[in-house]
Structure 1
Amino acid sequence: MKILPRFQNISNDTKVSGKEGAAGIKDKLIHRIQNRSARVGIIGLGYVGLPLLWTFHEAGFPVVGFDVDPDKIEKLASGRPYIKHLGFTMMEKLAASGRCRATQDFSGLAQADAVIMCVPTPLNTYREPDMQYVEQTAHTVAEHLRKGQLIILESTSYPGTTDELIVPILEEVSGLKTGEDFFVAYSPEREDPGNATFNTSKIPKVVGANEPEALAAARALYDTIVVETVPVSNNRTAEAVKLTENIFRSVNIALVNELKVVFQEMGIDVHEVLDAADTKPFGFMKFTPGPGLGGHCIPIDPFYLTWKAREYDQHTRFIELAGEINTSMPRYVIDRTIMALNAHEKALNDSRILIVGLAYKPDVDDLRESPTFKLMDLLKGYGANVSYYDHYIPEIWETREHGQWAGLQTVSWNRDTISSFDAVIIATNHSDINYQELADWNDIIIDTRNAMKQVKARGKNQIWKA
């Protein structure tokens, strides 16, 4: 793959006459999509954008990746992975392909027929939507917008983002009119990093747009890469779909987290309860408790709706309560750690604590919104000396909220190292960790993921569930 500072001029067949109506523009775009001559531009080459770039490339499209991070661009060009679970093969194929380009030069957006925005939508310090990345990207797209293009937002956001933020910027800066000169749609990403069963192409894609021509163009585009497209009536509905999916998970995880605390006091193993309940073939869906919420969706998305609901004088009490329960779980883990140390006549202050698993979920190198950081912050606040082991993340890189841990490196996995800690907290249950070795090497283990269920303990106070 070549890193191109600039792109060639737009070929004649991509230009659209100013007299051509929306239907004609749509037909021409769909024709280019169907014969795979349409250029697809992906803005943001992270956990969403990179798999999407690969999927369009595999479907036969010429693809262009845009990102402000020069490290991502360089690694794409050289075929070196920067998201481990995606592997070497994909990156090597992209680097060697004549149909894939990567660049920091956003002027190349004008050459794309479809532009898909996959940029972060975090929360600010007040747990309100932080739309700076979406807004900046919309301005960049608008500066290079031309007639005949399809613009799609995939970033998760509150209902109304596309209509109230994206479209006004595109129209004001470009002087063009959506639905007449260009099309806008919303299609929420549904990536599940590390899921070997469902990759981008195997996950149905919800697509929404306000005009029939825009919806037809967006459906035609995604029809080429996914198993099924699911059209909805407008952008706001599509935005609400993604929030609903993740709010459903957040609420149910909060429920089992609360049950974990209650059953612990009753001397009941919540995991045994959930496993038994899961044998019911109807009316029950199993969710698993943990030390808190992590990832780019569940800890964030519910608050996008609660924030927007206030504009309509509505209060999402149920959603907010679930958020409170989930965000309280790291403190529960610390309380259990203190109890475990006390049972061995140790104090948390000045103790050496090892966190096993930094990623927010098993078998990936994704640390976005990982509850492990909250555990580490709390432990440090209590005066503990904190280290971590995670072979997926050899060193912690700079993050928006946890910069104090940047540069910290994983410890080695051996008896001398692991036994030197006063206690071990299992925060992420990577499948290839030898948990029996962990039990053989350390006397105090706080298990937040039920990872030690098959392990033989050496004493009744060795393994604590949290």
Structure 2
Amino acid sequence: MPADLAVIGLGHLGLPLVQAAVAAGIDTVGYDTDPRPCAELRAGRTPVEGPLTASDIRRMLSGGFRPTTSAAELGRVRTAVICSPTPLGPDRTVDLTALGDAARALAARLRPHTTVLLESAVPPGTTESFLRPLLEEGSGLTAGRDFHLACSPSRLDPGNRTHTYASTPKVIGGLTPACTESAAAFYGRLTDKVVRARGPREAEMTKVLETNFRHVNIALVNEMAVACHDLGVDLWDVIRCAETKPFGFHPFRPGPGVGGHGVPVDPGTLPYSGRTPGHPLRMVSLAQEINERMPRYVIQRCATLLNEHGKSVRGARVLLLGVTYKPDSADQEAAPAREIATRLMDMGAQIGYHDPHVLDWRVRELPVPRADSLYEAAAAADLTVLLQQHRTYDLQGLAVKAQLLLDTRGATPAGAAHRL
């Protein structure tokens, strides 16, 4: 049965789009080359860690959503949105393999007048220099003439109850003005506001700027955290005071590292496009270096605190609280908890964890013991480290029970714990 929309890639980008489309009454089919997410979805279960629950999935299915591994479904839709993962590869550049596979599957069945949209996070130039040739070669059609092509990078903030899919403006950059308007007509059914970029590269660069803005500012405040600790200054009070300034300042807060699906991208170091300027963004590179250093700094603070209380890291019982990258979410993508646990284990510590959203956690493929009773585990541990401040944690009560508490998020009351 034909559908209005095909979402290609049923992961952390594709499923929220499916949810929004079904809620808007759009007949939607979801395509993924991996049979596992499709099987999970058809059984009413969510295949990825994130804000969507099993009940959300069941509502989507009852609303007409059809997950499939049959690429034939792609030739029956008016709009196709590519939400393939684009992780960093071993060389720290964006891996476009999954995007290429999705493009080839769609191209073989692409019909005239279809609108093709790209939501995956990609470097500037990808829509025109990478996606467009694959679609044209595989279909025999011409983008901008026979079918519409546009980029509209995802702006999801998983678990955010204030800024939902509908209330977050959607940036759209089409290959031609007609492509932009076709994309705007589609997204206008899902969101309250669409923002038209000059073209695909401007839309792609918008995502790069937004992600790099976050990483650079987190790096700045992470460096401030280290400096303030060395100087005996309460950084958290400094931030509280600074954020009262009504202009020229936006508050960011330090932490044990930076996680999430959005990665800092330096378009000047990407070799696939001949038009890449070749001038690396030094600020972005430095920010990445600083943020990647934070797990090691947390380990240093752990060792110092234990030593000050007459204990060694070797043999110490360390309880890690919150192993996800965001509060009140099960998503562990790039969360610093795993590196911190690995380093502590290498130093001989006995690691346990507690997280209300993660019932099974593994480091180096080995299960980490999960605390059933949070307060009892904190009282028994030589050191408790708060890595993520889930809403369910009573931090004041925890500070009373824990022998020694390191708060990497500044979430405990002043004086109740050692803060980053």
- Same fold per TM (> 0.5)? yes
What is aligned with 1:465? 419
- Alignment of 1:163 onto 2:128: yes
Matching of residues 42-61 of structure 1 within 5 Å: 42-61=7-26
Question: CA offset at residue 253 of structure 1?
Answer: 0.9
SS of 1:61's partner is: coil
SS of 2:265's partner is: helix
Question: CA offset at residue 314 of structure 1?
Answer: 0.7
- Alignment of 1:333 onto 2:298: yes
- Alignment of 1:143 onto 2:143: no
Question: CA offset at residue 430 of structure 1?
Answer: 0.7
What is aligned with 1:91? 57
- Structure 2 letter corresponding to 1:194: G
Q: Of residues 361, 366, 381 in structure 2, which corresponds to 1:421?
A: 381
Question: CA offset at residue 88 of structure 1?
Answer: 4.6
- CA 358–414 in structure 1, closer or farther in 2 if over 3 Å, else same: closer
Identity %: 35
The 2-side partners of 1:158 and 1:268 are apart by 39
What is aligned with 1:301? 264
Matching of residues 255-270 of structure 1 within 5 Å: 255-270=220-235
Q: CA RMSD in A?
A: 2.0
What is aligned with 1:438? 398
What is aligned with 1:193? 158
Q: Is the 8 A contact 2:212 2:265 kept in 1?
A: yes
Partner deviation per Cα, 1:225-254 (whole Å, 9 max, x = no partner): 111110111111100001101111111111
What is aligned with 1:411? 371
The 2-side partners of 1:452 and 1:348 are apart by 24
Matching of residues 304-453 of structure 1 within 5 Å: 306-307=269-270, 311-396=276-361, 404-405=364-365, 407-408=367-368, 410-453=370-413
Question: CA offset at residue 414 of structure 1?
Answer: 3.8
Aligned residue pairs: how many?
417
TM-score normalised according to structure 1 size: 0.85
Q: Is the 8 A contact 1:157 1:301 kept in 2?
A: no
- CA 444–130 in structure 1, closer or farther in 2 if over 3 Å, else same: same
Question: CA offset at residue 341 of structure 1?
Answer: 0.5
What is aligned with 1:104? 69
Partner deviation per Cα, 1:63-96 (whole Å, 9 max, x = no partner): 0111244443234334334555333543222122
- Structure 1 letter corresponding to 2:419: K
Q: Which runs of 4+ in 1 moved over 6 A?
A: none
Q: Is the 8 A contact 1:243 1:305 kept in 2?
A: no
Q: Is the 8 A contact 1:42 1:117 kept in 2?
A: yes
Matching of residues 266-285 of structure 1 within 5 Å: 266-285=231-250
Q: Is the 8 A contact 2:313 2:349 kept in 1?
A: yes
SS of 1:388's partner is: strand
- CA 289–52 in structure 1, closer or farther in 2 if over 3 Å, else same: same
Partner deviation per Cα, 1:368-419 (whole Å, 9 max, x = no partner): 111112212222222223222111011137xxxx7x2465463213443333
Rg larger in structure: 1
What is aligned with 1:226? 191
- Structure 1 letter corresponding to 2:383: A
Q: Is the 8 A contact 1:43 1:118 kept in 2?
A: yes
- Structure 2 letter corresponding to 1:438: L
Partner deviation per Cα, 1:441-460 (whole Å, 9 max, x = no partner): 32121110012226x74xxx
Partner deviation per Cα, 1:328-374 (whole Å, 9 max, x = no partner): 11111111001001011111123222211111011111111111122
Matching of residues 24-43 of structure 1 within 5 Å: 39-43=4-8
Comparing 233-242 and 307-316, the one that deviates more? 307-316
Gaps of 5+ in 1: 1-7, 11-37, 458-462
Q: Is the 8 A contact 1:44 1:65 kept in 2?
A: yes
Partner deviation per Cα, 1:264-288 (whole Å, 9 max, x = no partner): 1111111110011111112211111
What is aligned with 1:129? 94
The 1-side partners of 2:75 and 2:184 are apart by 22
- Alignment of 1:80 onto 2:40: no
SS of 2:372's partner is: coil
Q: Is the 8 A contact 2:266 2:281 kept in 1?
A: no
Partner deviation per Cα, 1:187-224 (whole Å, 9 max, x = no partner): 01000001001111110000001212211111111111
The 2-side partners of 1:352 and 1:169 are apart by 54
Q: Is the 8 A contact 1:393 1:410 kept in 2?
A: no
Gaps of 5+ in 2: none
Q: Is the 8 A contact 1:336 1:464 kept in 2?
A: no
Partner deviation per Cα, 1:99-151 (whole Å, 9 max, x = no partner): 32111222211111111011111111221211111111111111222222111
